[in-house]
Amino acid sequence: MSHSLTPAFPRSAQRLLTSVKSIDLSNNLIAHVENLQSCWKLEWLNLAFNRVSDISNINQMVGNLKALYLRNNNIANIEGLEKLYSLEILDLANNKVTAFSEVELLSKLPLLSTLWLMGNPVAQLDNYRNTTLRIFAKQPRDVRRPSSSSSPVLQPARLARLTMLGPC
């Protein structure tokens, strides 16, 4: 549905998508993330180049995402993303994120390995890269293997895993 200029994901398509793993809704007129609750297996979602501004309840729509592309929207407050615990890739480039306190919310994501923030006001702040890396370094991880809840696996150093794509 990329480039279809749709203002929203059709409610009628909801029940047909229970086994879909990826959806590309980029380059549309979508302002709200909605009607995706039935996409239980959704792991990859592209909402880039839309009009999304509020993502506060996104975890209630797409809780199992591994990759989320929100580049070129109107997002200033990223609250809600910190509850997407399976997220590995997050593209927030060219939005309106202004403060390190917003970025700090993302440090709660145990599997996040790739983060795009370039084009946001926060990426223009002094010591952006060092401060962001420090934020993620503060959060040690103790993640359990999906197959065994009794054997913890300590993740490698967070800085070694985090790929920040943006200005240095």
DSSP codes, 76-136: ---TTGGG-TT--EEE--SS----HHHHHHHTT-TT--EEE-TTSGGGGSTTHHHHHHHHH
Query: Coil, strand, or helix at residue 35?
Result: coil
Q: How confident is the model at residue 18 (pLDDT cuts 50, 70, 90)?
A: confident
**Token pair 């979602």: residue:** 45
Pairing between β-strand 152-154 and β-strand 142-144 as defined by DSSP bridges: antiparallel
Q: What is the pTM of this model?
A: 0.80
Compute the Cα dihedral for 77, 131, 107, 147 and give only its sign: positive
Q: Report the chain's terminal Cα–Cα distance, integer Å.
A: 35
* Gap between the Cα atoms of 164 and 128, Å rounded: 11
Token pair of 72 as six digits: 């070129």
Torsion of CA 60, 97, 139, 141, to 10 degrees: 40
pLDDT digits over 56-99, tens only? Answer: 999 998 989 999 999 999 999 999 999 999 999 999 999 999 99
| Chain segment 123-156, per-residue pLDDT in tens | 999 999 899 989 988 765 444 334 443 333 334 4
